[in-house]
Structure 1
Amino acid sequence: MNRETARRLAGSVSLAVLLALAALGATHGHAVMGRPGPPEPGAWLAADWGPREMSPLVWLGAAAGAAGVAVRRFRPRTALAVAASGAAVALAGGAAGMVRVMPLVVLFSVAAAYPLRRYAALAPLAVPLVLAPNLDEPYLGALNGELLTDATVTLTLLCASAAFGAAVRVRRESVLHEREQERRRSAYEERLRVAREVHDVVGHSLSVISMQAGVALHVLDKRPEQAVPSLEAIRKTSKDALEELRGTLAVFQDPGGDAARAPVPGLDRLDDLVAALTAAGRGCSVTREGAPVRLPVAVDHAAYRIVQESLTNVVRHAGGAPARVHLAHTPEGVVIEVTDEGPARLGDPVVEGNGLAGMRERARAVGGTVEAGPCPGGGFAVRAHLPGDRSER
């Protein structure tokens, strides 16, 4: 038996003993106060508590009811049958109505543990609870109205106990359902983060590698010595991409480990992106406006990934046109604009794939926005507005 089970059992046994003593005490007091004449001082304590004062059925029924209360958390339906039967036996022996509290407590636990269909078959146990006090009355007390009164009170208490238990069960199931939904949502969002990071790292690197490989193949036959820089660039790009991919996956596999504390790439690595493109013969220029401000880590990382994906799209779709990156630092944050002079024309439909969708998600996650579309004079532009450190405002 583990500690939690022992604690619950100890609490149930303590409650069972208290309820049994309360039922016996109420019955004892009822017997003393029901004698002819005014009670003598101390009569309640001096009266005999043995079988001569109370019927053995009261003691037996109270013991059975207490046993039901004690095991109600471990065998709820069995406990309800035992407690209800014990209460009926005690009532038949002349016990006070206090003895009905024990099956009410057990019924609450049953309703909190099971839906109604799981314990509806135990409903006939309410009949003995109603009839038992009137066994010695003509027609079970129906002639003087006691039966109807007892039935109304007993059934009302039973329904209230079951209703409270059902409310507790519904609330608990609702909380568990919300927690499960939250867990699934977190897992889904985590998978999206992994997919987005892998897409950005692998997509950009493979685009650069493909461009470098094309240059190497073009000059391999006529000027083989010029293929060496492209091959070196391929080797460096693939090595860097593999290291970044390993670091990214390590962060997600061990969020609390050392890898999670490794610095994520930000705009300070923008020159590396530009160098990779220019080494492959693709023109790329960077202009800056305003005094650089310190960005939050999440915003800085999102800015880097947006520029990276934008340059990847330039390599894939701009047909060899050069790219331009413009960074404008403002008190509110940073504005990023990546343009090219590719074949896109104003009015052309924008097909939003994983790249643009990922950029929008990254910007939205840090409170920013991304706009993308053809330029009026031709080419394509991606414009992102990302907020700065709001705590400094």
Structure 2
Amino acid sequence: MTPLLGRRARLRWLHLILGGALLMPYFLVGTVIVGSYRTDATVFSSLVSQLAAFGLALPMAAVTALFPLARPLSVAAARALCGLPPDRPLADGPARTRQARVRAALWYTLHVALGGIVSGMTLALTPFAVGVTVLPFSGTVRDFPVIDVPEALDRPWLLALAPLAGIAMLAALACCAAAAGMLLADRAPVLLGPTPDDRLAAAERRAAALAVRNRLARDLHDSVGHALSAVTLQAGAARRVLDSDPEFVREALTAIEETTRRTVGELDSVLGLLRRDAEDAVGGGGPAGPGLDALDGLLAHCGVPVACTAQGDRGAVPEAVAREAYRIAQEGLSNALRHGGRGAPVRLRITVRTEELEIVMDSPLPERPPPVRPGGGHGLRGITERAALLGGRTGAGPHDGGWRLTACLPLHAPGGERP
């Protein structure tokens, strides 16, 4: 009995009755149209007229379901009442494409058509079947005009079979409702499921969210990683000369203070991006973050001596390029500080040309291979990803007995637009 009267079957039956209720406005309009062509008043008593009104109601229902918001309403009802398996998802959001709107209209038409039939059967057959069931037990029911008892049923043995006939009618009604509900549940993923355009849009949203997450990971890695490396080396050097060189200790503490203050500001920028929706973050780019104008402060307190030369107009560099250039320089200094030590000199050259910004950083190679850090090794990969997002290129490797990091970032995106 579970397939006919279980919770899922009852919910699907309710869903069909909801479809019958949705059909009523269209059916009444169809009745008015059919009645305008009849000279008598037998529209509601004529089966042909009712079938004609039903046939006119379905196209009207299909037209109204072409509106984009019809699909979310149908999806919500189907998810709540159709008992769909979890491995057959439905689409989210309004129907934007023609294919999605046509599918939603077909579903809505099927829903109201089956709902109208099952609702009519439920309203008409249920009281009749109940009346037939109680015929042997109530003379009042036998005299009721709706229950037109044939004279043959006056025979006791035939009248005794009336309850079985009534129960059979109710069982047939339950079977029809269950079959219609199963048909709707089977068609729901096909007609209300995601179209190829929906899947593409969902994939684009996931890619955009992943891009934002990766950008946040790079920003946190570069900012926090550089700060911790600089603070650790400054504090270690200050501890070793605490008694012999107070002036150096004072300079180290100043560098630590400036580094942590700058890092706190950068963390506020990243956390501000986290508080925003992914879509807004992608569209607006999030908080600007530090750019080339903040590079002097970074070099002054980065923990290594840096000889920096700059050519060209920094003001001509777009904000997005300037932000990524700052992060690339920051990560390069972190690597030089981590692998070369505090006293390792670094040469940095920034050249702004007409079409691109070039960053070249030379640092000494470490005397010993750096220790492998668990979860480390993402710095150069992050630099490559930053440059690739702007359509640029990077390179890193030994050069003239040292280590050279290069990055070329285009100042204009393909098509002439600024990044």
TM over 0.5: yes
- How much has 1:122 moved relative to structure 2? 4.0
The alpha-carbon deviation at position 86 of structure 1 amounts to 7.0
2:179 equivalent in structure 1: 121
Spell out, residue by residue over 1:141-194, the C-alpha distance to the aligned partner (whole angstroms, 9 max, x if none). xxxxxxxxxxxxxxxxxxxxx99x987545x44444334333332222222111
State the match for 1:317 in structure 2: 339
Task: Answer whether contact 1:372 1:380 (CA < 8 A) is retained.
Answer: yes
How far apart, CA to CA, are the structure 2 residues paired with 1:344 and 1:23?
A: 96
**Residues in 2 aligned to 1:13 and 1:244: alpha-carbon distance in whole angstroms:** 61
| 1:365 CA drift (Å) | 1.1
Q: Is residue 2:183 matched to residue 1:192?
A: no
Contact 1:65 1:86 in 2 (8 A): no
Q: How does 1:1-393 map to 2 (within 5 A)?
A: 13-20=24-31, 48-51=39-42, 56-59=46-49, 61=51, 79-80=113-114, 82-83=116-117, 121-122=179-180, 168-170=191-193, 172-254=194-276, 263-277=288-302, 280=303, 282-292=304-314, 294-319=316-341, 320-343=343-366, 353-375=377-399, 377-389=400-412, 391=416
State whether residues 335 and 384 of structure 1, in contact with CA within 8 Å, keep that contact through their aligned partners in structure 2: yes
Secondary structure of 1:220 counterpart: coil
SS of the residue aligned with 1:335? strand
Q: 1-side partners of 2:333 and 2:409: how far apart? A: 18
| 8 A Cα contact 1:344 1:378, kept in partner | no
Is the Cα–Cα contact under 8 Å of residues 34 and 53 in structure 2 kept in the other structure?
no
Aligned-residue sequence identity (percent) comes to 35
Q: Structure 1 stretch 322-331 or stretch 230-239: which is displaced more?
A: 230-239
Shift, 1:355, TM fit: 0.5
Q: CA deviation at 1:251?
A: 3.1
**How big is the shift at 1:13?**
4.8
Partner of 1:132: none
Secondary structure at the counterpart of residue 308 of structure 2: strand
Q: For residues 387 and 31 of structure 2, what CA distance do their matches in structure 1 show? A: 65
Gaps of 5+ in 1: 1-7, 26-44, 88-118, 126-161, 346-351
Name the structure 2 match of 1:94.
none
TM-score by length of 1: 0.59
> What whole-Å deviation, never above 9, does each CA across 1:256-307 have from its counterpart, x for those lacking one?
79x9886521112222122113xx4x32101223454511110011111101
Q: CA distance change for structure 1 residues 12 and 366 in 2, over 3 Å: closer, same or farther?
A: farther
Distance in 1 (CA, whole Å) between partners of 2:190 and 2:311 is 62
Matched letter for residue 238 of structure 2: A
Change in Cα spacing, 1:19 to 1:313, as seen in structure 2 (3 Å) is: same
Q: Which runs of no fewer than 5 residues in structure 2 stay unpaired?
A: 1-18, 66-73, 82-109, 122-176, 369-375
Answer yes or no: is the 8 Å Cα contact 2:21–2:116 preserved in 1. Answer: no
Structure 1 pair 313–288 and aligned structure 2 pair: CA distance change class (3 A): same
Assess, with a 3 A threshold, how the Cα gap between structure 1 residues 169 and 260 changes in structure 2: closer, same or farther.
closer
Counterparts in 2 of 1:56 and 1:19: CA distance versus 1, 3 Å: closer
Aligned-pair CA distance for 1:199: 0.9
- Check conservation: 1:216, 1:227, Cα contact below 8 A: yes
Which residue matches 2:87?
none
Paired with 2:179 and 2:20, the residues of 1 have a C-alpha distance of 26
Does the 8 A contact of 1:333 with 1:386 survive in 2?
yes
CA distance in structure 2 between the partners assigned to 1:189 and 1:324 by the alignment: 32
1:366 is displaced (CA, Å) by 1.3
Q: Shift of residue 196 of structure 1?
A: 1.0
* Alpha-carbon offset, residue 56 of structure 1: 3.0
Change (3 A) 1:222 1:9: farther
Q: Give yes or no for contact 1:334–1:388 (8 Å, CA) kept in 2.
A: yes
Q: 1:174 to 1:15 in 2, by over 3 A?
A: farther
CA distance in 2, matches of 1:78, 1:12: 5
Structure 2 Cα separation of the partners of residues 207 and 54 of structure 1: 86
CA contact (8 A) 1:61 1:86 kept: no
Q: Quote the offset at 1:81 in angstroms.
A: 5.6
Paired residues of 1:338 and 1:382 also in contact (CA < 8 A): yes
Q: CA RMSD of the aligned region, Å?
A: 4.5
Q: Is the 8 A contact 1:325 1:338 kept in 2?
A: yes
